[in-house]
């Protein structure tokens, strides 16, 4: 592991299950469980000639997590310069700059710097909340951009995903269940056939608060599967064994 510069209020956290480290900041951005679950949802790819791209990459957690299960090149796109810089320094910290590249660019212009129809996998943990006149946004600009559709919408991400994927390529999304119908409709409108859905529940007997979706570009319209759900916490407010294994390994 290389030494890298840390700025004020930054820290280095360990991704224990993957033996990796990531630069985080409570003032700017720290990844959440949704990024971990998204990376875990991605199917392994052992061929080094394959390519993946992570959209709305934040500080790079998803790319770092999947680097252990995806053998090929991984690109990451993040519009916020500070988060992209944290991401880049985390790659240096882990010695992964030869395999993962960060683009501090606007996703809406993605085809000006990434080749269409060239990726085997696209992952995306997009902003969850629509920007409406009555919407309450986080006063922290970094967090507001990460959580609200200020610079990019759901449709923007799906359009980019479809354009980047090869025919038969796989898209993986994490989002909120209350937008599931909109997500599925948008995917199908952009040639992405949903194939696997997994709901995530904070506790037993609670409503789901996350949904994981896998879709295939130009896939058949049938064959959608709802997988067994994930429960995050026990009634004693501890991580369930499933979550512990994802976070800390077996």
Q: What domains appear along the chain, each with residue ranges and CATH number? A: 10-248 (3.40.50.150)
Say if strands 20-25 and 10-15 run parallel, antiparallel, or are unpaired.
antiparallel
pTM: 0.93
Element (H, E) at 182: helix 180-189
pLDDT digits 0-9 by tens, 46-102: 999 999 999 999 999 999 999 999 999 999 999 999 999 999 999 999 999 999 999
Exposed e or buried b per residue across 17-32, where buried means at least 16 C-beta atoms within 10 angstroms of its C-beta: bbebbbbbbeebbbbe
Q: Pick from 238, 174, 232, 243: which is nearest to 207 by CA?
A: 232
Contact present, 155 and 185 (Cβ < 8 Å): no
184 backbone dihedrals φ, ψ, rounded to 5°: -65, -40
**What are the structure tokens assigned to 224, written together?**
């959608």
- pLDDT single digits (tens) 176-216: 999 999 999 999 999 999 999 999 999 999 999 999 999 99
Q: How far apart are CA 64 and CA 225, in angstroms?
A: 27
Residue 149 has what pLDDT? 58
CA angle, 105 then 108 then 113, to 5° = 50
């Amino acid at each position: 592991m290389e030494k890298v510069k840390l700025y004020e209020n930054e820290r280095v956290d360990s991704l224990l299950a993957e033996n990796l480290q990531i630069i985080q900041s409570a003032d700017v951005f720290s990844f959440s469980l949704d990024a971990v679950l998204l990376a875990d949802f991605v199917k392994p790819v052992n061929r080094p000639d394959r390519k993946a791209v992570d959209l709305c990459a934040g500080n790079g957690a998803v790319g770092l997590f999947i680097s252990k299960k995806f053998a090929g090149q991984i690109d990451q796109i993040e519009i916020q310069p500070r988060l992209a810089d944290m991401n880049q320094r985390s790659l240096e910290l882990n010695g992964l700059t030869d395999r993962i590249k960060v683009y501090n660019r606007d996703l809406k212009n993605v085809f000006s710097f990434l080749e269409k129809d060239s990726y085997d996998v696209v992952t995306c943990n997009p902003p969850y909340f629509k920007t409406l006149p009555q919407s309450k946004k986080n006063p922290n600009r970094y967090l507001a951009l990460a959580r609200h559709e200020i610079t990019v919408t759901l449709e923007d991400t799906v359009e980019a995903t479809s354009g980047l994927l090869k025919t038969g390529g796989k898209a993986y999304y994490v989002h909120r269940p209350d937008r599931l119908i909109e997500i599925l409709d948008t995917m199908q409108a952009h040639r992405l056939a949903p194939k696997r859905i997994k709901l995530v529940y904070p506790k037993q007997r609670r409503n789901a608060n996350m949904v994981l979706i896998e879709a295939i570009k130009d896939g058949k319209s049938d064959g959608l599967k709802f997988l067994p759900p994930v429960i995050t916490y026990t009634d004693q407010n501890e991580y369930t064994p499933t979550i512990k294994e994802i976070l800390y390994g077996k």
